[in-house]
């Protein structure tokens, strides 16, 4: 599915990017789908930045997560159209060869949110520090429970699946480290042997999977009192399952910071979530493509990291000492920004 769009910005904003790229230079955005609000915001940010930079803009999307074939076709279309740069949230690593071919054709390739396994498939990744996102909710959960609560914790882990996707691994292991649990191998999920971890379940990062995952974990240990979730849709399902089972007082933490997720924090469904900024990821990505189109400059990684860090904030209405956070009111102002 393809969209070619232009957004209108004020003259003052346009002036900031004057001369950044030549008229007619093309930037492409390729997302996993065009329905998830996370990707909708990416598209908004990318097209606004492209208009500000005086660039042409094309947006493509697959139908669902894991649907790589439409993304490969989109990459090929962008190459054929002479694009200066491609921003992509890759459905999986099978798009790697097409992206390497795009780079060989002189196109700047920026992965958004999640890097590809093959380092040669992208010039740079613009993303949340997902380990830091996990670390923050782990530290918050530990500080909220206190020493006795931490010692007696029974934790259920709701991941995406068992494929060790980089974002899945980083958030999962970050949470455990933040909580104070030893993780022998930070490159895979489930290497910990701490008996406080009941188990890892595949949620599919959606509400239905969240329900099933929590049901399975409660079957293993009905006294589960902490639930880590890969994202807020999974947290929504987890809460539904906990409510159905009559479980109260269970600490649920998550990552994403989308507007519905922040509403869940405000409502007390989620205790704390780490907020990322997809619109910023995409708009900064377009700025990088404009700079590349102008003089060949390529983006550099943030200091001490292998990617460009677009920031993260912990959002909670129950602040914990020693863990920096913003409240749900501020989180609502910033959600999906």
Given a contact cutoff of 8 angstroms between Cβ atoms, the answer to whether 121 and 96 are in contact is yes
Per-residue pLDDT band at 23 (split at 50, 70, 90): low
Report the CATH architecture of 2-127+278-299: 3-Layer(aba) Sandwich (3.40)
Share of the chain above pLDDT 70, in %: 93
CB burial readout 133-159, b (16+ within 10 A) else e: bbbbbbbbbbbbbeeeebeebbbbbbb
Q: Where, residue-wise, is CATH 3.40.50.2300 in the chain? A: 2-127+278-299, 130-275+312-334
Closest listed residue to residue 326, CA positions, set 281, 280, 273: 273
Per-residue confidence (pLDDT) for residue 336, from 0 to 100: 84
pLDDT higher than 60, residue 16: no
Contacts of 225 (CB under 8 A, 6+ apart): 149, 152, 153, 154, 249, 250, 251
Q: φ, ψ for residue 250 (rounded to 5)?
A: -85, 130
* Mean predicted lDDT score pLDDT of the chain: 92
- Which of 326, 301, 287 has its CA nearest to residue 84? 287
CA 325 to each of CA 20, 130, 275, 319: distance values in angstroms, whole numbers, following the listed order? 36, 16, 10, 7
Mean pLDDT over residues 165-192, rounded?
Answer: 96
Tell me the pLDDT band of 158, cut-offs 50, 70 and 90.
Answer: very high
CB-based burial of residue 318 (10 Å sphere; 0-12 exposed, 13-18 middle, 19+ buried)?
middle
* CATH match for 130-275+312-334 among 3.40.50.2300, 2.130.10.10, 3.30.1490.20, 3.40.1180.10: 3.40.50.2300
Residue pLDDT, tens place only, 297-321: 999 999 999 999 999 999 999 999 9
Q: What is the pLDDT of residue 266?
A: 98
Please tell me the predicted confidence (pLDDT) of residue 114: 87
Question: pLDDT tens for residues 253-289?
Answer: 999 999 999 999 999 999 999 999 999 999 999 999 9
Q: Are 6 and 47 in contact (CB under 8 A)?
A: yes
pLDDT for 3 equals 32
pLDDT-wise least confident of 15-24, 84-93, 263-272: 15-24
Mean pLDDT for 94-121 is 96
How sure is the predictor about 22, in pLDDT bands with cuts at 50, 70 and 90? low
pTM beyond 0.75: yes
- pLDDT score at 38: 86
Q: Which helix (H) or strand (E) holds 255?
A: strand 251-256
- Does residue 17 have a pLDDT over 70? no
Q: Give residue 35's pLDDT.
A: 83
What proportion of the chain, given as a percentage, has pLDDT over 90? 85
pLDDT at 222 over 70: yes
| 289-to-11, 56, 283, 293 alpha-carbon distances in Å | 21, 12, 10, 6
């Amino acid at each position: 599915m393809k969209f070619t769009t232009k957004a209108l910005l004020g003259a003052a904003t346009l002036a900031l990017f004057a001369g950044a790229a030549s008229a007619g230079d093309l930037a492409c955005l390729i997302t996993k789908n065009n329905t998830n609000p996370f990707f909708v915001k990416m598209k908004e940010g990318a097209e606004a930045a492209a208009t500000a930079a005086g660039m042409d803009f094309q947006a493509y999307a697959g139908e669902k997560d894991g649907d790589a074939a439409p993304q490969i076709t989109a990459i090929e279309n962008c190459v054929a159209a002479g694009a200066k740069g491609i921003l992509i949230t890759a459905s999986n690593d099978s798009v790697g060869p097409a992206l390497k071919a795009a780079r060989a054709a002189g196109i700047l390739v920026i992965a958004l949110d999640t890097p590809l396994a093959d380092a040669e498939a992208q010039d740079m990744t613009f993303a949340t520090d997902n380990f830091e996102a996990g670390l923050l909710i782990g530290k918050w959960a530990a500080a909220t429970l206190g020493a006795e609560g931490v010692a007696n914790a029974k934790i259920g882990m709701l991941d995406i699946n068992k494929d060790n996707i980089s974002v899945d691994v980083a958030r999962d292991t970050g949470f455990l480290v933040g909580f104070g649990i030893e993780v022998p191998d930070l490159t895979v999920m489930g290497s910990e042997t701490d008996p406080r971890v009941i188990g890892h379940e595949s949620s599919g990062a959606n509400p239905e999977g969240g329900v099933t995952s929590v049901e399975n974990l409660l079957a293993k240990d009905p006294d589960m009192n902490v639930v880590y979730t890969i994202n807020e849709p999974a947290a929504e399902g987890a809460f539904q399952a906990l409510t159905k089972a009559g479980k109260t007082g269970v600490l649920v933490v998550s990552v994403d910071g989308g507007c519905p997720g922040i509403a869940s924090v405000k409502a007390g469904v989620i205790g704390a979530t780490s907020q990322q900024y997809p619109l910023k990821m995409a708009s900064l990505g377009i700025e990088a493509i404009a700079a590349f189109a102008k003089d060949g400059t390529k983006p550099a990684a943030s200091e001490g990291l292998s990617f460009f860090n677009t920031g993260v904030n912990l959002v909670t209405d129950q602040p914990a000492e020693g863990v920096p956070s913003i409240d749900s009111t501020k989180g609502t102002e910033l959600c999906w920004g």
